[in-house]
């Protein structure tokens, strides 16, 4: 396994920051059994045990290069998305668009939700875009019912 350096993090225990290569999305990866594997997933399996089928590991410390198993929690893809700091994650978590409008009455499209308030302001010429929260129906079918 790649070199790991302890670094202070937001949690009580320090983060274990790995020196492994970056996959381009902030996650450390390494060659494993002829393929490419996420180092944090290997670390969890090594120290804790098997990751339940279909589960993702959420970084409780929000440091995606951290491989401290104490900072990793198996969650569903839906839960991981809701916890993330992306616009989509915010929409799932707070039920508001990027401008803070409620998405309760948003237009439900096949690919996601479109903010109705933004749409109204857009048509009135007050906005240049409409907040849209894509929910990849193909990859994450469970999000469409959220
Ligand atoms: Zn950590
Ligand atoms: Zn809006």
Which ligand is nearest to the Cα of residue 113, counting in written order? 2
CA 81 – ligand 2 centroid, Å: 20
Closest CA to 65 of 47, 30, 102, 40: 40
CA distance 103 to 139: 22
Mean pLDDT of the chain: 83
pLDDT at 12: 85
What is the domain count for the chain? 2
Ion ligand 1 nearby residues (CB, 5 A): 9, 15, 61, 63, 66, 68, 71
**Would residue 61 count as lying in a domain?**
yes
CA 57 – ligand 1 centroid, Å: 12
CA distance 32 to 37: 6
pLDDT at 69: 94
- Choosing from 75, 110, 128, the residue where a domain stops is 75
**Would residue 90 count as lying in a domain?**
no
**141: pLDDT strictly greater than 60:** no
CA distance 104 to 48: 40
Ramachandran sector of residue 95 (left: φ over 0; alpha: ψ -120 to 50; beta: rest): left
Range of the domain at 56: 4-75
pLDDT at 15: 95
Q: How far is CA 85 from CA 6, 19, 60, 88, 123, in A?
A: 24, 24, 12, 8, 29
- Choosing from 75, 108, 124, the residue where a domain stops is 75
Percentage of the chain modeled with pLDDT above 70:
84
CA 21 – ligand 1 centroid, Å: 17
CA 130 – ligand 2 centroid, Å: 7
Q: What is the pLDDT of residues 30-87, one digit of tens each?
A: 998 899 999 999 999 999 999 988 889 999 888 999 999 999 999 888 888 777 767 6
Which ligand is nearest to the Cα of residue 71, counting in written order? 1
* Same domain (yes/no): 60, 21: yes
CA 33 – ligand 1 centroid, Å: 25
Rg, the chain, Cα only: 19
Do residues 60 and 97 make contact, with C-beta atoms less than 8 angstroms apart? no
Which ligand is nearest to the Cα of residue 10, counting in written order? 1
Which position has the higher pLDDT, 128 or 142?
Answer: 128
* Same domain (yes/no): 55, 100: no
Q: How far is CA 56 from CA 2, 59, 69, 99, in A?
A: 21, 10, 13, 29
CA distance 72 to 8: 16
């Amino acid at each position: 396994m790649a070199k790991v350096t302890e670094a202070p993090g937001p949690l009580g225990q320090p983060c274990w920051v790995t020196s492994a290569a970056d996959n381009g999305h902030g996650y450390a990866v390494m060659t494993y059994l002829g393929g490419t594997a996420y180092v944090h997933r290997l670390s969890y399996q090594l120290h804790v045990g098997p990751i339940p089928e279909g589960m993702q590991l959420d970084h409780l410390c929000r440091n995606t290069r951290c491989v401290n198993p104490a900072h990793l929690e198996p969650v569903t893809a839906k839960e991981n998305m809701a916890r993330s700091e992306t616009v989509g994650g915010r929409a799932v978590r707070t039920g508001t668009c990027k401008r803070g409008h409620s998405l309760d009455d948003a237009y439900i499209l096949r690919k996601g939700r479109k903010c109705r308030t933004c749409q109204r302001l857009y048509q009135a010429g007050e906005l240049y875009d409409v907040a849209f929260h894509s929910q990849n129906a193909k990859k994450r079918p469970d999000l469409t019912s959220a």
